[in-house]
Amino acid sequence: MTRAPGPTLQHLFSKEKSTRHAILIDPADQTPEMAAKRCVAAVSAGSQMILVGGSTGTDMSNVHNTVVAIKEALELISWAATQNSELNEEEWTIPIVLFPQGSAALSPAADAITFMMLMNSTDPEFLIGEQVRGAPFIKKAGIESLPMGYVVCAPGGRVGQVGAANLIQEDQLDLAAAYAIAAESYGFELLYLEAGSGAHTPVNPNLITAAREACNLVLIVGGGIRDGATARLAAQAGADWIVTGNLTESYDDVDELQQVLTKFINEMNS
Ligand code: 1GP
């Protein structure tokens, strides 16, 4: 039986010339209300996906409350857009996607989940264990699964440690390509190259190009990207999506955040 792609997968795949920006919200780092405000600022600036998750400190409760708060804020603006010709309803219809720490940090209110294999983990828990534990919940909740290969590159940060990853080093271009081909061969739809949240250096652009040239998957890159110029290098190397987490969380003033992200997104595609 062939699986029909759901709306979030179609959104991720839509063939746009430009690289798109996704905001990562870690429910362990902020209240649901603050998360919702930051998401509204990010979507106003042009972000086109909201990822919710973290590598430590998340659970069913903080993930669910955060997803619900973000969803309510975006739905309110979407509704307002139907009453106001100056607002575009479609721009506010942004998927909220779980980017989970594990099977104990999920929410039935999310639109979709990156159903991921941490491909270069040495621990079977991250290859298949957590996935088996979470799958029945995801199916019952009707959350769209986005099959994703998740590959941690140097420096790797906390996720590299927690996930016991055999990090891809910056000169291991053939290895990056091999992971990309393996991800495609598994039937995954997305490939995420991760340098680790707050990484001092992002994924080496040469690794991005090696993965880009080796497969046709939607290519997501994140970790340590804090400015538009760095995002531009990743975009030019072949990333379809750039994810930022720490950058967003460093602003409490949402007007300032909106300005920063608007500049970031423009620069990324300049
Ligand atoms: C982490 O790739 C994401 O999983 C985002 O990283 O927090 O460094 O932006 P930053």
Tell me what the mean pLDDT of segment 148-173 comes to: 97
CA atoms within 13 A on the CB side of 92: 20
Question: Does residue 194 line the site of ligand 1, with CB under 6 A?
Answer: yes
Task: Kindly provide the b/e burial profile for residues 213-226, where b requires at least 16 CB atoms within 10 angstroms of the residue's own CB.
Answer: ebbebbbbbbbbbb
Q: Confirm whether 34 is domain-assigned.
A: yes
CA 56 to ligand 1 centroid distance, Å: 13
What pLDDT score was predicted for residue 207?
A: 98
Q: Using the structure block, give the residue that is written with the tokens 């659970």.
A: 59
What pLDDT score was predicted for residue 138?
A: 96
Q: Confirm whether 8 is domain-assigned.
A: no
Strands, E, within the chain: which ranges? Answer: 20-25, 49-52, 96-98, 112-118, 144-152, 190-194, 218-222, 241-244
| % of residues, the chain, pLDDT over 70 | 98
What pLDDT score was predicted for residue 1?
A: 55
pLDDT at 266 over 60: yes
Which of 3-7, 213-217, 223-227 is predicted least confidently? 3-7
Strands, E, within 84-211: which ranges? Answer: 96-98, 112-118, 144-152, 190-194
How would residue 15 be classed by pLDDT, with cut points 50, 70 and 90?
low
How would residue 4 be classed by pLDDT, with cut points 50, 70 and 90?
confident
Q: Confirm whether 200 is domain-assigned.
A: yes
Q: Confirm whether 3 is domain-assigned.
A: no
Q: What is the pTM of this model?
A: 0.95
CATH of the domain at 131: 3.20.20.390
Query: What range defines the domain where residue 153 resides?
Result: 18-265
Q: Are 112 and 6 a contacting pair, CB within 8 Å?
A: yes
Question: CA-CA distance, 86 to 104, in Å (whole number)?
Answer: 41
Q: Confirm whether 2 is domain-assigned.
A: no
What pLDDT score was predicted for residue 20?
A: 97
What pLDDT score was predicted for residue 52?
A: 97
Tell me what the mean pLDDT of segment 259-270 comes to: 97
Q: Confirm whether 242 is domain-assigned.
A: yes
| Residue of minimum CA distance from atom 4 in ligand 1 | 197
Q: Taking all residues of the chain, what is their mean pLDDT, rounded to a whole number?
A: 94
Question: Does residue 249 line the site of ligand 1, with CB under 6 A?
Answer: no
Question: Does residue 155 line the site of ligand 1, with CB under 6 A?
Answer: no
CA atoms within 13 A on the CB side of 64: 11
pLDDT at 261 over 60: yes
What pLDDT score was predicted for residue 94?
A: 93
Tell me what the mean pLDDT of segment 19-33 comes to: 96
How would residue 154 be classed by pLDDT, with cut points 50, 70 and 90?
very high
Structurally, the chain folds into a number of domains equal to 1
pLDDT at 146 over 70: yes
Atom of ligand 1 nearest to the CA of 246: 7
How would residue 44 be classed by pLDDT, with cut points 50, 70 and 90?
very high
Tell me what the mean pLDDT of segment 41-47 comes to: 96
Question: CA-CA distance, 123 to 112, in Å (whole number)?
Answer: 25
Tens-digit pLDDT profile for residues 109-136: 999 999 999 999 999 999 999 999 999 9
Distance (Å) of CA 139 to CA 43, 142, 201, 236, 240: 28, 5, 37, 37, 27
Question: Does residue 225 line the site of ligand 1, with CB under 6 A?
Answer: yes
Q: Confirm whether 47 is domain-assigned.
A: yes
Q: Which of 21, 23, 24 has most ligand 1 atoms within 8 Å of its beta carbon, as the pocket-test mutant?
A: 24
Tokens of 79: 């509704």
Three-state secondary structure readout of 83-103: HCCCCCHHHHCCCEEECCCCC
How would residue 57 be classed by pLDDT, with cut points 50, 70 and 90?
confident
Q: Confirm whether 4 is domain-assigned.
A: no
Atom of ligand 1 nearest to the CA of 249: 7
Question: Does residue 244 line the site of ligand 1, with CB under 6 A?
Answer: yes
Question: Does residue 55 line the site of ligand 1, with CB under 6 A?
Answer: no
Q: Provide the 8-state DSSP code for 47.
A: -
Nearest of 173, 179, 177 to residue 120 by alpha carbon = 179
